[in-house]
Amino acid sequence: MIQPRFSFLLFLSFLLVFSSCATTRQAPSVEPVTLTILHLNDVYEISPLEGGQAGGLARVATLKQQLLREDPNTIALLSGDFLSPSLIGNLKKEDGERIAGQQMVETLNAMGLDYATFGNHEFDLKTADLLQKRILQSNFEYTVCNAFRADSSRVRPFVQNDAGELVPPFLIRTFRNAQGQEVKVGILGVVLPFNQADYVHYEPVVVSFRETVEELRPKVDVIVAMTHLNEADDLALAEEVPGVALFMGGHDHHHMSHYVGETVIAKADANAKTAYVHRITWYPSSGVSKVNSTLVPINPALPDDPSTAAVVEKWQENVGRIMGDQGYSPGEILMDADPPLECQEVVVRRRQTNYGNLVLRAFEAAAPGADVYLINSGSMRLDDNISGAVTQYDVLRTLPFGGGLVRMALPGEVLKKVLDIGEGENRGEGGYLQRYRAEKEGEGWLINGQPLKAGQRYAVVLPAFVAAGNEANLEFLKDYKQEQLGPLVVDGASVRNDVRDLTIAYMRFLGK
């Protein structure tokens, strides 16, 4: 009686084990899906800097091709600020239209950029139609959730392409692995409302971002954002709107990375001196994504992509011709820089530099007798150091905006406010002031070695742009009278009232 019962139980156990094994073998495996994002921000130069040792979009193109071979799910993004400013962008073509970022669009097209958002400098372009023209020339797609075209009180998105599609608040891209499993990724962009161009309407950053993320959540598996904001605003936004896997930042010109909760915040160095490579892994079974970010130097170890390099070379040849037509001699050697002239943006926007001092001494040589000379560091766009022979081209690259100087008579308390803001709120930004004949001493200032007095009036020479109240936190300057400068002379020769011409003339004098 025992034997049959034992046999039946053994047979039943065998069936259960066999059934379990069969179920395991037949269940489909759920493999993760990977994607790779090549992330740039704040790119104004198409060619390498630092004597060819850093940057260059032809090298970035090679990096993208390498990443595509590693992972076919690779895209390249740019988190704003590329159409302006630059020396090339401020020059005019034969038809009289400014180049205004066309060189960047053509080079980024050749490089294989996939997506971009607006930075505040995109709105440097003089008209909405010109910006719209550059968007239509782009092979890559734009997205932004809080900036719109505004014409005669009509607010609407910019147009994405010739088919009439609008620049959307977000994009959705689907990636698949070799097994066909997929991940849907939502990409959105946001820009700080810094540039108050008449043709742009901004919605509040946090509100727009939150509403866009909430709309995306039920449609996608992973959300990533291109954020053209300053560092503090990125950190605050990640705290306010959790659940975004990655903030690919811009606006700050030096690399950084942070975690806020589960959100990774990363920014590369400006002018493609570095790029971030973000490798994202999506696990369908758990609904979890993992971000692994690597900062990659863009240097001679990356060879130029030939097709991108050809576009760069074409534009560089055009620049030499156009500058010659405008009366400049870009190859003229003006002086020898020893020690090197410091103009990297991460430096010139945070402390006084020898290059800033030289430019201001050029102002003094042309307009002597003022108590203080100032220039906003955001007008010095070289983002490089110069050693050895300094050419006109180097000066023109440094000061691409140009513009004239004015004299102002400011009460001591107003001058103190200007200097305090330059050294305080504007440190790290373009409104940081390079200064000459003004030195910080404790909580106060020395003007030509003497304590600044509230009841005294001081003669200040500075760019007309700043005097008109156009610089951040210095808007109040527009309420004070400007005095136009008379004929300017450097080393006995008449010089046009333009910061570029003044600096070139003074360097030429130093180089004698």
Please answer whether residues 119 and 80 qualify as being in contact, where contact means their C-beta atoms are separated by less than 8 angstroms: yes
What is the reported pLDDT for 153?
77
83 φ/ψ angles, rounded to the nearest 5 degrees: -75, -25
- At the topology level of CATH, where does 329-510 sit? 5'-nucleotidase;  domain 2 (3.90.780)
Q: How many Cα neighbours within 13 Å face the side chain of 134?
A: 28
Calculate what percentage of the chain has a pLDDT beyond 90: 82
| Three-state secondary structure call for residue 283 | strand
Residues with pLDDT less than 50, the chain: 1-27
**Vertex 382: Cα angle to 309 and 51 (nearest 5):** 55
pLDDT tens-digit series, residues 286-324 = 999 999 999 999 999 999 999 999 999 999 888 888 888
What is the three-state SS of 355-423? HHHHHHHHHHHHCCCCCEEEEEHHHCCCCCEEEEEEEHHHHHHHCCCCCCEEEEEEEHHHHHHHHHHHH
Please answer whether residues 405 and 386 qualify as being in contact, where contact means their C-beta atoms are separated by less than 8 angstroms: no
What is the reported pLDDT for 28?
52
pLDDT tens-digit series, residues 215-237 = 999 999 999 999 999 999 999 99
What whole-number distance in Å separates Cα of residue 80 and Cα of residue 94?
Answer: 28
CA 469 from chain centre, in angstroms, equals 23
- Is the entire prediction scored with pTM above 0.75? yes
What whole-number distance in Å separates Cα of residue 349 and Cα of residue 423?
Answer: 10
Q: Among residues 217, 35, 39, which one has the least CA distance to residue 114?
A: 39
Q: In what order do the strands lie in the sheet with 274-283?
A: 141-142, 115-116, 74-78, 33-40, 274-283, 288-297
Torsion, Cα of 162, 168, 170, 176 (10° steps)? -30
Q: Which CATH number describes the domain made up of 33-297?
A: 3.60.21.10
What is the reported pLDDT for 21?
37
pLDDT tens-digit series, residues 398-420 = 998 899 999 999 999 999 999 99
What is the reported pLDDT for 29?
66
- For the chain, the domains span 33-297, 329-510
Residue type, 223: I
What whole-number distance in Å separates Cα of residue 43 and Cα of residue 86?
Answer: 9
